[in-house]
Amino acid sequence: MIVIPCPWCGPRDESEFTYGGDASRPMPSLKNGNDQAAWHGFVHQRENPKGPHVEYWYHGGGCERWLRVERDTITHQVRWASDAAAKTEPEQ
């Protein structure tokens, strides 16, 4: 079981969330048209990290906000969660 500490709702079970992908690297820009090679690389050519990893999660069963979450891919322990727009790790 993964418990995600939503900054607005408090600690909640992962069943309230939807995984949204890798947040450790930027998405390709949409400003210059549809760069298929860039999107292919972003979606399909990913790392499979062992240990701490920053991910996007959507809290659909709560505040309906996107979060950035650091989760250990081995233990599934969540170290922190913040607003996805913040783009930085929250102060501990």
The residue within the footprint of Zn ion, chosen from 3, 8, 18, 38 (CB under 5 A), is 8
What's the rounded Cα separation, in Å, for the pair 62 and 77?
Answer: 20
The residue within the footprint of Zn ion, chosen from 59, 71, 81, 82 (CB under 5 A), is 59
User: Per rule CB under 5 A, is residue 62 in the interface with Zn ion?
Assistant: yes
The residue within the footprint of Zn ion, chosen from 2, 54, 63, 84 (CB under 5 A), is 63
User: Per rule CB under 5 A, is residue 84 in the interface with Zn ion?
Assistant: no
Size of interface with Zn ion, in residues (CB under 5 A) = 6
The amino acid sitting at 80 is W
Integer angstrom CA distances of residue 43 from 23, 38, 50, 82, 91: 12, 9, 19, 23, 30
Token pair, residue 78, equals: 């969540």
User: Per rule CB under 5 A, is residue 19 in the interface with Zn ion?
Assistant: no
The SS3 assignment for 90 reads: coil
Instruction: Find residue 53's DSSP bridge partners.
Output: 71
CB closer to Zn ion, 54 vs 63 = 63
Q: Which residues bind Zn ion (CB under 5 A)?
A: 6, 8-9, 59, 62-63
